[in-house]
A = this chain, B = another copy of it.
Amino acid sequence: MLKVYLSGEIHTDWREQITDGAAGLDVEFSSPVTNHEASDDCGVAILGDEPNKFWHDNKGANINAIRTRKGIADADVVVVRFGEKYRQWNAAFDAGVASALGKSLIVLQQPDHDHALKEVDAAALAVARDPAQVVQILRYVLTGELPQ
């Protein structure tokens, strides 16, 4: 069984495309909380309000880190998706953690970001352009089958 953590962009359905595409494969997926609002507010919603936005964010980021740490630590493969918008520093941060822990890293991104992502790509075992390629990699790694 392959454990795969799906990190990064949370505004499109790329995770569903991958988990749907991998139906039938012996893969266990995990991911961060992808509800943007919940993810931003979890800290103050549980532990109490902060007037200062910095600490509001800090409390939330630390609670989310409980899930992220476990997801990456348990994973065999970490897929990190960089989308078209936002700075997505947390995605690159996760890629750095995954790389330092010796996880197999797959980056999912479009060619216009190639130069900006060159250090992250260089640490990856594959740079995929769409979710279908990620599924094909997982299928090949598990079964040896290539796409027709």
Contact = CB atoms under 8 A, between A and B. Distances in A.
Interface of A: 2, 33-35, 38, 41-43, 45-48, 52-55, 57-70, 73, 76-77, 82, 86-102, 104, 106, 111, 113-129, 133, 136-137, 140-142, 144-147
Contact of A93 (B92, B127, B128): B92
Contacts of A115: 53, 57
A95 B93 CA distance: 6
Count of chain copies: 8
A117 to B, nearest CB: 6
A134 to B, nearest CB: 9
A66 B137 contact: yes
A46 B136 contact: yes
